[in-house]
Amino acid sequence: MSITFAVIGGGNMAKAIVEGAISGGVLHAESIVVADPEESSRDYFDALGCHTISSSSSLPETPHVLLSVKPQVFAVVADDIKSDIVYSIMAGVTIENITRSTGNNRVVRMMPNLPCSIGYGATGFAVADSTQDEDASLAKEIFSQIGSVIEVNETLMDAVTAVSGSGPAYVFYLAEAMLEGGIKVGLDVEIADALVRQTILGAAALLLQDDRSAKELREAVTSKGGTTAAALNVFNERKVLDAIEDAVVSARDRGRELST
């Protein structure tokens, strides 16, 4: 089988994407070549059955390439791209910049998040005007193997980054606070940790499966004058909702700065 899909950069996200695409039957391992200087990364892809090389300068011509490098590395590898279609998961690097640097006008820009590594990701994507329907369809098919996929206008990609790209960190931050609060009220670390993890898992599953909105679910948990109301009163007094909203806006603005 000929090589049809190249990957530049073999980090954790690339591993999740490639493994998901292979296990889902979207791509065949023997049709993929991965360029990464890290031997341990190449060993991982070798075990999947992919071809590996240490430098992107040795990449063969392929119809598709996935850019999975840090934005600051992009300029170094841009000239090595020999593909018709460019898929990028680089944060802050616009379609215009990719086209200008690579000469490719068929570009799909993706923003996955960390839970993609366990199949529960959220990925936003935007396409260049010259991108063909089958280019976007392949992107949807690949990323659907590791979570949900939503198409947006590229002007909203920084907003996607702020909500779902950075979003897991907001949840982990909440988990940290809940854990410390549990310890403060007398729970052992192990017990508090177990309760926090299961509570967040259960709440996330309920939000996903229930037709009610987050506000309606929050109200369903809150009895007037009860313990939950007492906790939420503290949030309201300290304007926690405003802080979270402002944090999302700040993350969006930082994304815009990085893309200029």
Which candidate, 6, 247, 13, places its Cα nearest to that of 112?
13
Residue 260 pLDDT exceeds 70: no
Spatial neighbors of 55 by CB under 8 A, at least 6 apart, are 35, 37, 80
Report the distance separating Cα 162 and Cα 253, nearest Å: 9
The amino acid at 200: I
Residue 257 pLDDT exceeds 90: no
Q: Kindly state the helix (H) or strand (E) to which residue 125 belongs, with its residue range.
A: strand 121-127
Tell me, what's the pLDDT at 165? 94
Tell me, what's the pLDDT at 1? 61
pTM over 0.85: yes
Mean of the per-residue pLDDT values of the chain: 94
Domains in the chain, please, with CATH?
Answer: 5-154 (3.40.50.720), 167-258 (1.10.3730.10)
| The token pair that represents 148 in the structure block | 């949900």
